[in-house]
Amino acid sequence: MAEVGERNAGNVMTAIKAAAALSWAAVAGISAAGLLVLVHVAAASFVAPPRLGSVAAISVVVLVLAWHLRVDTPLMRRQTTAAMTAVVIVCNDLTAPLHQTVAVVGVGLLASLVIFRRFRWANLYWFISRLLAAAILVAVFQHALATGIIWPVALLAGWLAFFLTAIAVESAFTTSSRRRSTFRNGIDWPPALGMLAINLLLCLAGQHTAQQFQRDGVQAFFLVFAAVLALAVTGWLRNRDLRRRLTGLVDASLELPWSSDGLDKTLLTAASASVRANQVILRPEAPADMEIGVRMRHWDDGNNYLVAFRNGGAQFTEEDEQVLDALAHVGSIMVRHNELVHELRLQADTDALTGLGNRRTLWRRLAEINTGRGPGEAIAVVYLDLDEFKSVNDQHGHDVGDLLLTATAQRIRSEIRQADVAARIGGDEFVVVLRDVGTEHDARAAAERIAAAIARPLTARGNTLQVQASIGLAYSGRPAKDIEELLRNADARMYGNKRLQQRLRESERAGSGSETILAVAVERGIRRHRLRVALQPIIALDLDAIVGFETLARYEDEELGNIPPDQLVAEANRLGLLNELTIQVIDGAAAAMARVSGITDLRSISVNVELGQLTSGSTVVDRLRRMRAEGPELNVIIELTENSLDTMTEECRIMLAQLRSEGFKIAVDDFGSGYSSMNSLTEFAFDIVKVDRALVSGHDGNARNIVVSHLIAMFTALKADVVIEGIETAEAVEWLAGCPNLNAQGFYFGRPMWPDELIARLETSGKAARPASAWDAHPVMVD
């Protein structure tokens, strides 16, 4: 196969060389014949000078104008003045001596070269070839008349000989000199033949005029008429083409700047209109025969060809190629412009080291996600901070630190979905926005997966590194009014976890062993009954007084310090100690309420219980029942988190019904933090709904009043009380004041307090919603 290919290639090269040799021979022959014609004309003109009349003078002027204006047929576009030359020759006296007409043509062409300073050797060649063609036309005509052929047929024979000579000269010269051929894009035959037919008719009319009227004035008038007509028609055609091309360029320019989406459409539409092509396309292949095209920069692979072609192989002109070239150039500029704009925007929105978004991108994308999500779509903001990153820079250098940051970014990308957002907002701080995460448990699981991926060992510059990431998570079940609050909450929780991790590492370095220090601390606290309870007051707004309390678990380890409640509960659950933790909270609540009952008539106490703990034979259920038995006057409220309602089983539903029948009240806590609460609330009876702070936070009081009013109306119809959580300011109390039968809870009325502090408040201020006491300004417990 290779031998066949080489043989075919050799044959093609041989054919090309043969064609070039024949072309050089033809050019040499034509040149020699043309020189002989020049010598003959010069000699004959010396013996018998040509007659210079008005026809000859006008012929010279017409040839000069034709050369200047490039008045050509499509067959000879821009390369010759053959059409007007034929008319000039015929309108002169063809029966006169040969040198008479040839001399007129020669003077006209020579005058064009002199006037327009076209002294290139190629133009000299055209000059000689045109003289030869003119001599052939006259010689064939005179020879045909001498043989008795009537003059129209004789003129047709001479006319054909003239144009065949012009075509042969064109082909031979362009092939031998490797110049751009007039016919490189094919011939638009219908217009070409039409123009040649018009030229032939003009020649026949001119010869008829010369035969019928032997006066120079009539012949001169006809020549002027023919020249003006030809110039007018050709000028009109050229102006039409010029307007078409300019229109395409202007329309394309008016649509600047082109976007990446509209570039191809704008470019192809403008190119098609400008070059009058049947189809213009962008493709990777170069233009073939009968097509025109130009290379241009493109979006996908960097380079493409803008290619135009016409049905039937119709010819394009050089002006068409120039317009196509200009449009491709403008298109390439716009591609580069948009790439630069995209690159600059990317640089402005991207962290240069990791390729993640920066703080600016995070704010914009978080705002878009928050406002664009549906009512049931929950999001989570995960704040991540690398622990002891500074020591990596100090010990191994900043280049290793940069590699660690880059690897961290890659690991974060690998653990999130395409719809999620990741950003680096500080030296070793990252933020991830998780979309459509379902429950808060799902969000926390995703955050832990990211942290686990970051903690995998990494080899950089020969060093094996393993760093941990402290995480903080803020969950949002519905569009938030203040995205800054989401970031603040995630940041605060991250720093709380970071402080805990620092204490854990310090304990490990102090020789505490390889066990999980947090697990040991939690287990130690529960097993040794070191948990404490804090109580936060619940206020009836219409009474402006305390009506009950919520019990909250707190634990401060002797080694780790204060352990956040969410970590305490999560770790206890993981260790299988959640029942023990809940029982200790119930015991603490019972003891605290025994003291409260001694100085006031307040009897309502809420206890947080996981739904899964309410099963038959559960120790938690047994302890709750014993609490009621020991204090029958107590109003014990069992609080269930909204997110836990997803795990509702038939056994839990039966147990809830039994507990309600025994006098317990059931409350749904954190209503509004999840998305499944409405469905779950219709599946069992409940007594109280505690509305999550996220549902009513913000600055639009009217909107909040509408939301709270409808909630109160809905839950009142369901015979349930409403407690609004997270009340921290006087303004929040003001916009709730108009809502009847409403309870509230938050830092504005009191932070969680130890039982001793609660007793002190009740003894000094009674049930007042907000006493002016010093302790409230310096609370010992933080929720």
| Stretch 158-167: mean pLDDT | 77
Specify whether the CB–CB gap between 553 and 533 falls below 8 A: yes
Q: Which residue in 502, 497, 644, 488 sits closest to 564, CA to CA?
A: 497
| Stretch 248-257: mean pLDDT | 71
Average pLDDT value for the chain: 76
Most confident of 100-114, 406-420, 559-573: 406-420
Task: Considering only residues 158 and 586, tell me which one the structure prediction assigns the higher pLDDT.
Answer: 586
Q: Which two tokens stand for residue 53?
A: 């009349």
pLDDT at 78: 42
pLDDT at 76: 38
Q: Is the pLDDT of residue 332 over 50?
A: yes
pLDDT at 704: 57
pLDDT tier at 777, thresholds 50, 70, 90 = very low
List strands edge to edge, sheet with 291-298: 279-283, 302-309, 291-298
Structure letter (DSSP) for residue 120: -
Which amino acid, 486?
Answer: L
Q: Which residues in 345-398 belong to E strands, given as ranges? A: 379-386
- Rounded-to-integer distance, Cα 88 and Cα 199, Å: 11
Q: How far is CA 506 from CA 456, 511, 559, in A?
A: 21, 9, 9
Q: What is the pLDDT of residues 118-151, one digit of tens each?
A: 556 666 777 777 778 778 877 888 888 888 888 7
- Residue 529 host element (H or E): none
- Rounded-to-integer distance, Cα 127 and Cα 113, Å: 9
Task: Considering only residues 477 and 367, tell me which one the structure prediction assigns the higher pLDDT.
Answer: 367
Classify the phi-psi angles of 572: left when phi > 0, otherwise alpha if psi is within -120 to 50, otherwise beta: alpha
Tally DSSP H helices, then E strands, for the chain. 25, 19
Q: Which two tokens stand for residue 280?
A: 């213009």
Q: Is the pLDDT of residue 312 over 90?
A: no
Residue 491 CB: number of other CB atoms within 10 A?
18
Specify whether the CB–CB gap between 744 and 542 falls below 8 A: no
Q: Which two tokens stand for residue 298?
A: 């493109």
| Stretch 429-439: mean pLDDT | 87
| Stretch 545-574: mean pLDDT | 85
30 by Cβ neighbours in 10 Å (0-12 / 13-18 / 19+) ranks as buried
Q: Is the pLDDT of residue 176 over 70?
A: no
pLDDT tier at 547, thresholds 50, 70, 90 = very high
Q: Is the pLDDT of residue 689 over 80?
A: yes
Locate tokens 């309600």: which residue? 660
Which stretch of 85-99, 332-346, 614-628, 734-748 has the lowest confidence by average pLDDT? 85-99
Q: What share of the chain in percent tops pLDDT 90?
A: 12
Specify whether the CB–CB gap between 550 and 494 falls below 8 A: no
> Of 428, 491, 669, 721, which is the active-site residue?
428
Q: Which two tokens stand for residue 512?
A: 């505490």
pLDDT at 111: 76
pLDDT tier at 775, thresholds 50, 70, 90 = very low
pLDDT at 511: 57
| Stretch 221-229: mean pLDDT | 70
Q: What is the pLDDT of residues 519-538, one digit of tens each?
A: 888 888 888 888 999 999 99
Q: Is the pLDDT of residue 233 over 90?
A: no
Task: Considering only residues 188 and 451, tell me which one the structure prediction assigns the higher pLDDT.
Answer: 451
Q: Is the pLDDT of residue 292 over 70?
A: yes
pLDDT at 624: 92
445-477 b/e (C-beta count within 10 Å ≥ 16 → b): ebbeebbebbeeebebeeeebebbbbbbbbbbb
Q: Which two tokens stand for residue 761?
A: 């408040």
pLDDT tier at 503, thresholds 50, 70, 90 = low
Q: What is the pLDDT of residues 586-606, one digit of tens each?
A: 999 999 999 999 899 999 999
How many residues are present in the chain? 783
Specify whether the CB–CB gap between 595 and 755 falls below 8 A: yes
User: Please, which residues have CB within 8 angstroms of residue 749's CB and are 6 or more apart in sequence?
Assistant: 537, 539, 546, 727, 769, 770
Q: How far is CA 589 from CA 249, 445, 586, 596, 736, in A?
A: 83, 31, 5, 10, 29
Locate tokens 């940051």: which residue? 405
pTM of structure:
0.42
Based on the residue annotation, tell me whether 93 is a catalytic residue of this protein.
Answer: no
Specify whether the CB–CB gap between 422 and 359 falls below 8 A: no
pLDDT at 51: 65
Q: What is the pLDDT of residues 639-671, one digit of tens each?
A: 987 667 767 778 888 888 899 899 999 998 877
- Residue 319 host element (H or E): helix 318-349
Q: Is the pLDDT of residue 329 over 70?
A: yes
Q: Which residue in 753, 782, 783 sits closest to 771, CA to CA?
A: 753
Q: What is the CA radius of gyration of the chain?
A: 49
Q: What is the pLDDT of residues 53-99, one digit of tens each?
A: 666 666 666 766 665 555 443 433 444 456 667 777 776 767 777 77
Q: Is the pLDDT of residue 728 over 80?
A: no
Structure letter (DSSP) for residue 560: T
| Stretch 358-370: mean pLDDT | 88
- Rounded-to-integer distance, Cα 452 and Cα 208, Å: 101
Q: What is the pLDDT of residues 479-491, one digit of tens each?
A: 777 788 888 888 8
Task: Considering only residues 673 and 107, tell me which one the structure prediction assigns the higher pLDDT.
Answer: 107
Task: Considering only residues 242 and 306, tell me which one the structure prediction assigns the higher pLDDT.
Answer: 306
Q: Is the pLDDT of residue 697 over 70?
A: no
Bond into 50 cis (ω within 30): no
